[in-house]
Amino acid sequence: MEDNNMRVIFSGGGTGGHIYPALALIQRLQERQLADDILYVGTQRGLESRIVPQKQIAFKAIELQGFKRSLSLDNVKTVELFLKSVHTAKKMIRDFKPDVVVGTGGYVSSAVLYAAARLHIPTIINEQNSVAGVTNRFLGHFVDRISIAFPDVAAQFPKQKVVLTGNPRAQQVANMQPSDRLSDYHLTADQPTLLIFGGSRGAEKINQAFIEAVPALNQKPYQVLFVSGRVHFDKIKAALADQKVNANISVQPYINDMPQILPEVAVILGRAGATSLSEITALGIPSILVPSPYVTNDHQTKNAKSLVNQQAAKMITEAELNGQTLVKTADDMMTDAALRQSMAANAKKLGVPDAADRFIEVMQALISD
């Protein structure tokens, strides 16, 4: 295979956790001039229909929906749509003639990767979590290789197909350096900073705990950058209207390029999604993880425990989280530089700073076979 003649179809969507690993791989392929042509297949309803075209990547949509977990007539429609979308995906694949087809999760990838496997095109999926998603568990029976980010998930797939690459997203952030972005939020570089962030849409329980914690946080010898999520910001402003908020606390609705600010953060308090954990381990940032209890198979708790077990993070369950537990756990870490340093080193050991390159090696080997 010539170094520059890889034609690749990517499919993944619904949430950023399925889209950003694919975009990280595409960026790395382009940086290394290994991609001759790329096509991204998603749905019109998923975030991918907006995010992918913005990156000047060719995008096509197929109609598909996920299975309901309970018995439902909707599942009959799901099967019909799946069979129809497999037919559509086969036509796209025949027209595009990919060397390899890559799936990064979300139900849209089920039809695309299944179609590619049936056409004997090399296939590889990436499972970012410590518990395999429904789509990837299904595809595990058909694809050639299964790339994983957490060793714990290997047992859920055929052993001979599994390769540990890490989450490709990690490589995008691994070499980021501090860039004085804290000044954009009226904070300084000479104090350790706690970032409280419940994800792009925010997390109501984390936000409530922060509001309860503000009187105590006002008195701390460290800074707090709190990001509420845009949909919650007006409610947060109203709740804080009668409270004093000192200069060591900055309240923001959203930060557009969150990874840019991470190298300046001493500790992160947030959810335990796969993308977030790949970023903080790549950079070696200690964390206080509050797993979302609203995700499939409670996979965020299992993600978090993989860091806690290596002394890279502390965990507070959502049921335990309030202003008091937030402040106590934050104090334990923010006032103990030696503990932070130790946890940072442990986090970095779990990071895979060359994850995208590892994944590309597997792609190349598949094509060469």
Collapsing DSSP states into helix, strand and coil, what is residue 83? helix
Annotated binding residue at 17?
Answer: yes
Q: Is 80 exposed, middle or buried (0-12, 13-18, 19+ CB in 10 A)?
A: exposed
Annotated binding residue at 255?
Answer: yes
Cα-to-chain-centroid distance, residue 278 = 7
CA–CA separation, 37 and 92 (whole Å): 14
Annotated binding residue at 200?
Answer: yes
* Neighbour tally for 166: CB within 10 Å: 28
Collapsing DSSP states into helix, strand and coil, what is residue 360? helix
Close Cβ partners of 51 (under 8 Å, ≥ 6 residues apart): 16, 19, 23
Annotated binding residue at 38?
Answer: no
Closest CA to 124 of 362, 355, 357, 353: 362
CA–CA separation, 181 and 189 (whole Å): 9
Residue with tokens 């950079």: 283
CA–CA separation, 167 and 158 (whole Å): 19
Distances 119 to 22, 26, 46 between C-alpha atoms, Å: 22, 23, 26
DSSP state of 13: -
Rg (CA), the chain: 21
- Binding-site residues for UDP-N-acetyl-alpha-D-glucosamine, please? 15-17, 129, 200, 255, 300
Residues that constitute the known binding site: 15-17, 129, 200, 255, 300
